[in-house]
Chain A
Amino acid sequence: MPPAKSPALRPSHLPPVELYRPADLGELLAHAADGVHLLAGGTDLVVWASQCGEPRRLAWIGSIDQLQTLDITSDRAHIGAAVTLSRIVRSGQFRSLAPAVVDGAAVVGSVQLRNQATLVGNVCTASPGGDTIPALHVHDAALDIVSAAGDRRSVKISDFVHGPGQTGLNTGEVVTGVTLRGLGQREGSAFSRFTQRNALDLAIASVAACLSFESDGRTVARAHLSMGAVGPTVLDADEAARSLVGHPLEPARLRNCADLTAECCRPITDHRASADYRRQLVRTLTMDVVDAAAERAIPGWLAVEAP
Chain B
Amino acid sequence: MTGEQPATSSPAPAAAGVPDRARGLARYTADLIPPGTVLVGLARSPYAHARVSSIDIQAALKIPGVLAALTPADFDDIALGHQGADEPVLTRVARYVGDGIVAVAASDQDALLRGIEALHIDYEILPHACSVDDALALDQPLHPAFLDNVARRFSAERGDWEAAQKRVSTWVEGTFQTQAVPHAYLEPRATLVRVYDDRLELVTGTHFPSVLAETYGEIVAGWGARLEVVTPDIGGSFGAKWEHPTHLVCLAFAHRLRRDVAMVLPRRDDMISGRTRVAMRIQMRIGATDDGELIAKETMIWADNGAYTGHGPSVTLAAAIRMDNLYRFSALNAQAQLIYTNNVPSECFRGFGSPQSAFAQEQLIDELAEQLRIDPIELRRRNAVQPGDTTLHGWQVGSCGFNDCLDAIKDRIQTHRRENPMATSDRYRFGYGIAGATHAISNRGYDHRFDRDMMSLAVEPNGVLRIESGEVEIGCGTVDLFAGIVADHLELDRERIRLVLGDTATVPHGLGCFASRTAFFGGRAALDASRRFAQLCGRLAIDIGLPADTAIASVIEAAVTANRTMELRVTGSYEPDHVTVPDESGYGNISPAYTYATHGCCVRVDTATGLTTVVCYWAAHDTGQVLNPQRARGQVVGGVVQGLGFALAETTLVDDRGHMQNPGYLDDRVATFADAVPIECIFTPTFEKEGPRGAKTIAEPPIIPVAACVANAIYDATGARQWRLPMTPEWVWRSLCAKGVLAPDRTAD
In the complex, A touching B (Cβ < 8 A): yes
Residues in chain A within 8 A of chain B (CB atoms):
6-13, 15-16, 50-51, 53, 194, 196-202, 255, 259, 262, 271-274, 276-277, 279-281, 283-284
Which among B290-298, B351-359, B663-671 touches the partner chain?
B663-671
Are A7 and B730 in contact, with the CB atoms below 8 A? Answer: no
Bound-complex Cα distance A51 to B669 (A):
19
Are B746 and A283 in contact, with the CB atoms below 8 A? Answer: yes
Bound-complex Cα distance A280 to B663 (A):
27
The B576-590 residues at the A interface (CB cut-off 8 A) are none
Chain A residues whose CB sits within 8 angstroms of the CB of B665 once the complex forms: 200
Are A11 and B730 in contact, with the CB atoms below 8 A? Answer: no
Chain B residues whose CB sits within 8 angstroms of the CB of A15 once the complex forms: 109-110, 113
Are A277 and B733 in contact, with the CB atoms below 8 A? Answer: yes
The B639-697 residues at the A interface (CB cut-off 8 A) are 648-649, 653, 655, 659-663, 665-667, 669, 671-675
Chain B residues whose CB sits within 8 angstroms of the CB of A281 once the complex forms: 609
Q: From B609, B659, B728, give the contact of A8 (CB < 8 A).
A: B659
Bound-complex Cα distance A280 to B112 (A):
47
Chain A residues whose CB sits within 8 angstroms of the CB of B110 once the complex forms: 15-16
Is B44's beta carbon under 8 Å from chain A?
Answer: yes
Is B36's beta carbon under 8 Å from chain A?
Answer: no
Chain B residues whose CB sits within 8 angstroms of the CB of A198 once the complex forms: 672, 674-675
Beyond A271-B653, A274-B730, is A280–B609 a contact (Cβ under 8 Å)?
yes
Bound-complex Cα distance A283 to B655 (A):
28
Are B746 and A53 in contact, with the CB atoms below 8 A? Answer: no
Is B46's beta carbon under 8 Å from chain A?
Answer: yes
Are A199 and B109 in contact, with the CB atoms below 8 A? Answer: no
Are B729 and A196 in contact, with the CB atoms below 8 A? Answer: yes
Bound-complex Cα distance A13 to B611 (A):
36
Is B258's beta carbon under 8 Å from chain A?
Answer: no
* Chain A-chain B contacts (Cβ-Cβ < 8 Å), number: 103
Are A9 and B267 in contact, with the CB atoms below 8 A? Answer: no
The B602-655 residues at the A interface (CB cut-off 8 A) are 608-609, 611, 648-649, 653, 655
Q: From A50, A53, A271, A280, give the contact of B608 (CB < 8 A).
A: A280
Q: Using CB atoms, name the residue of chain B closest to A283.
A: B746
Residues in chain B within 8 A of chain A (CB atoms):
41-46, 97-98, 109-110, 112-113, 116-117, 265-269, 272, 608-609, 611, 648-649, 653, 655, 659-663, 665-667, 669, 671-675, 728-730, 733-734, 745-746, 748-749
A-B contact pairs, 16 of them (CB 8 A): A8-B98, A8-B663, A9-B45, A9-B97, A13-B109, A15-B109, A194-B611, A194-B729, A197-B674, A200-B674, A201-B669, A202-B667, A259-B745, A272-B667, A277-B730, A280-B746
Q: Using CB atoms, name the residue of chain A closest to B657.
A: A6
Q: Using CB atoms, name the residue of chain A closest to B97.
A: A8
Q: Shortest distance in angstroms between A115's beta carbon and chain B's nearest beta carbon?
A: 17
Are B44 and A271 in contact, with the CB atoms below 8 A? Answer: no
Q: Shortest distance in angstroms between A217's beta carbon and chain B's nearest beta carbon?
A: 27
Chain B residues whose CB sits within 8 angstroms of the CB of A199 once the complex forms: 672-675
Chain B residues whose CB sits within 8 angstroms of the CB of A53 once the complex forms: 113, 117
Chain A residues whose CB sits within 8 angstroms of the CB of B269 once the complex forms: 11-12
Beyond A280-B609, A280-B746, A284-B609, is A11–B113 a contact (Cβ under 8 Å)?
yes
Beyond A53-B117, A197-B675, A271-B662, is A9–B667 a contact (Cβ under 8 Å)?
no
Chain A residues whose CB sits within 8 angstroms of the CB of B662 once the complex forms: 271
Q: Shortest distance in angstroms between A20's beta carbon and chain B's nearest beta carbon?
A: 19
Given A196-B649, A201-B666, A280-B748, output 8 extra A-B contacts at Cβ < 8 Å: A8-B97, A8-B98, A8-B268, A9-B97, A9-B98, A12-B266, A194-B609, A281-B609
Beyond A9-B46, A284-B608, is A197–B671 a contact (Cβ under 8 Å)?
yes
Are A276 and B749 in contact, with the CB atoms below 8 A? Answer: yes
Are A284 and B113 in contact, with the CB atoms below 8 A? Answer: no
Q: Shortest distance in angstroms between B110's beta carbon and chain A's nearest beta carbon?
A: 5
Q: Shortest distance in angstroms between A103's beta carbon and chain B's nearest beta carbon?
A: 16
7 closest A-B pairs (Cβ-Cβ)? A198-B674, A199-B674, A271-B661, A12-B266, A284-B608, A12-B268, A277-B730
Are B98 and A11 in contact, with the CB atoms below 8 A? Answer: no
Chain B residues whose CB sits within 8 angstroms of the CB of A13 once the complex forms: 109, 113, 266
Chain A residues whose CB sits within 8 angstroms of the CB of B113 once the complex forms: 10-11, 13, 15, 53
Are B675 and A8 in contact, with the CB atoms below 8 A? Answer: no
Q: Using CB atoms, name the residue of chain A closest to B267.
A: A12
Q: Shortest distance in angstroms between A125's beta carbon and chain B's nearest beta carbon?
A: 14
Chain B residues whose CB sits within 8 angstroms of the CB of A197 once the complex forms: 649, 669, 671-672, 674-675
Chain B residues whose CB sits within 8 angstroms of the CB of A272 once the complex forms: 667
Bound-complex Cα distance A198 to B612 (A):
12
